[in-house]
Amino acid sequence: MRSRAAVLVEPGRPLEVREIEVQAPKAGEVLVRMAAGGVCHTDLHVMQGLFAAPRPAVLGHEGAGVVAEVGPGVTSVKPGDHVVPLWRIACGECEYCTGERPALCPSGLEVRRTGRLPDGTTRFSLNGEELKHFAGVSSFSEYSVIPEKGVLAIPKDIPLEKAALLGCAVITGFGAVAYAAKVRPGTTVAVIGAGGVGLNVIQAAALAGAERIIAVDLLEGKLTHARAFGATHAVRAEKGGDPVGAIRELTGGRGVDYAFDVVGLPATVRQAYLALAKRGVAVAIGIPENNAEVSVPIMSLVYDERVLTGSLYGSARPRLDIPRLIGLYRARKLKLDELLTRTWPLAEINEAYAALERGEVARSVVTF
Ligand SMILES: [Zn+2]
Ligand SMILES: [Zn+2]
């Protein structure tokens, strides 16, 4: 079938909205009619060539839609079901899947690395030429074929444009707080980068009972969002500047118990670490450029017992945690309505990314 999709031909060029060909789902696959695709920084990094991905490709790794058709053997979803795609498929059987870290499953990494579905082929083409999938999701296409292991059915009363955000921004931020850092009540938290994921780190830390939450960003607009999501303090950073002194000052020189880097630069990961108190935990969440490295003083690792760790996909179990997040949304404890500040038609996807870069939106989605 034909489908309108945003295609990345090569990095450095704008996305091209084209009519592509989408094949029917094969065994273990699901055809999803996408309702919304999330405008996330990770795709931007791919477009800019900072983060490698096979191409030409249909990008988009956050979304929500309705199952249009299922391939042979699919049992967990049926046509008409509302679903959120998961950007790391999980086999369910390996040591990481059974050890509560499905995002680390090698099968998910393989799909991300090759741009192909688990059987080694793709379901997209343009003028007869193969197009790659992105993270097995490709939510910037009206119709996408996704492995059954990469979709999760959700209740039909959650608006799909908002549900889309659960699949990346929300679970990544909440999971990093709950599972990677394990934020305790009454503690202090710093969050470097107040974009879509950072805002969810902030609201999760507030729900976890953090006493002081310091948001750091270059853009005043993002700090305004941060306060609305629960930040008690805001530090306006400067490009190339160092917010560590300001963070430490806000904690009486002690440093914070938890610091999250949601930017992914060597400098910001190091700042998160340097802002820690003794026994503090710094969590790197932001997706780095290929081969980026960070250095920290070993003295403070040993004498302060500080921890520097990372978190992929919120270190979460999406099949358990997304339903829990929906419960929090229904209980009016999760700010999801406030997170979605703009929708764009697919044709304006490049403008959507320009607005993201300017920090004009908390989170936005393209719709079809
Ligand atoms: Zn994302
Ligand atoms: Zn696995």
Q: How confident is the model over 257-274, as pLDDT tens digits?
A: 999 999 999 999 999 999
Of the listed ranges 150-154, 180-184, 239-243, the least confidently predicted one is 239-243
Compute the distance from residue 109 Cα to the ligand 2 centre, in Å.
10
Query: Sorting pLDDT into bands at 50, 70 and 90, what band is 323?
Result: very high
CB distance 134 to 115 below 8 Å: yes
Compute the distance from residue 311 Cα to the ligand 2 centre, in Å.
17
Which ligand is closest to the CA of 164, given by its number?
Answer: 1
Compute the distance from residue 97 Cα to the ligand 2 centre, in Å.
4
Which ligand is closest to the CA of 40, given by its number?
Answer: 1
Compute the distance from residue 61 Cα to the ligand 2 centre, in Å.
19
Q: What type of residue is 232?
A: T
Which ligand is closest to the CA of 312, given by its number?
Answer: 1
Q: How far apart are CA 59 and CA 14, in angstroms?
A: 12
Pull the structure tokens for residue 92.
């369910």
Q: How far apart are CA 188 and CA 202, in angstroms?
A: 11
Compute the distance from residue 145 Cα to the ligand 2 centre, in Å.
20
Compute the distance from residue 95 Cα to the ligand 2 centre, in Å.
7
Asked if pLDDT for residue 227 goes beyond 90, the answer is yes
Average pLDDT over residues 302-313: 98
Average pLDDT over residues 155-168: 98
Of the listed ranges 3-7, 52-56, 287-291, the least confidently predicted one is 287-291
Asked if pLDDT for residue 129 goes beyond 90, the answer is yes
Q: Which DSSP state fits 36? A: E
Asked if pLDDT for residue 182 goes beyond 90, the answer is yes
Compute the distance from residue 368 Cα to the ligand 1 centre, in Å.
19
Q: Using CB atoms within 10 A of its CB, is residue 18 exposed (0-12), middle (13-18) or buried (19+)?
A: middle
Compute the distance from residue 310 Cα to the ligand 2 centre, in Å.
19
Compute the distance from residue 228 Cα to the ligand 1 centre, in Å.
21
Asked if pLDDT for residue 7 goes beyond 90, the answer is yes
Give the pTM: 0.96
Compute the distance from residue 246 Cα to the ligand 1 centre, in Å.
29
Which ligand is closest to the CA of 262, given by its number?
Answer: 1
Compute the distance from residue 300 Cα to the ligand 2 centre, in Å.
35
Q: Check residue 290 and give its pLDDT.
A: 85
Average pLDDT over residues 94-108: 96
Compute the distance from residue 87 Cα to the ligand 1 centre, in Å.
9
Q: Check residue 245 and give its pLDDT.
A: 97
Q: Check residue 359 and give its pLDDT.
A: 86
Compute the distance from residue 345 Cα to the ligand 1 centre, in Å.
19
Asked if pLDDT for residue 150 goes beyond 90, the answer is yes
Average pLDDT over residues 16-43: 97
Main-chain dihedrals φ then ψ at residue 145, nearest 5 degrees = -100, 125
Q: What type of residue is 128?
A: G
Compute the distance from residue 231 Cα to the ligand 2 centre, in Å.
36
Asked if pLDDT for residue 232 goes beyond 90, the answer is yes
Q: How far apart are CA 171 and CA 175, in angstroms?
A: 6
Compute the distance from residue 87 Cα to the ligand 2 centre, in Å.
14
Compute the distance from residue 106 Cα to the ligand 2 centre, in Å.
6
Using alpha carbons, select from 362, 368, 367 the residue that is nearest to residue 169: 362
Residues whose CB is less than 8 angstroms from the CB of residue 354 and which lie 6 or more positions away in sequence, other chains included:
none
Average pLDDT over residues 74-90: 97
Which ligand is closest to the CA of 101, given by its number?
Answer: 2
Q: What percentage of the chain has pLDDT greater than the value 70? A: 100
Q: At CA 198, angle to CA 62 and CA 291, rounded to 5?
A: 75
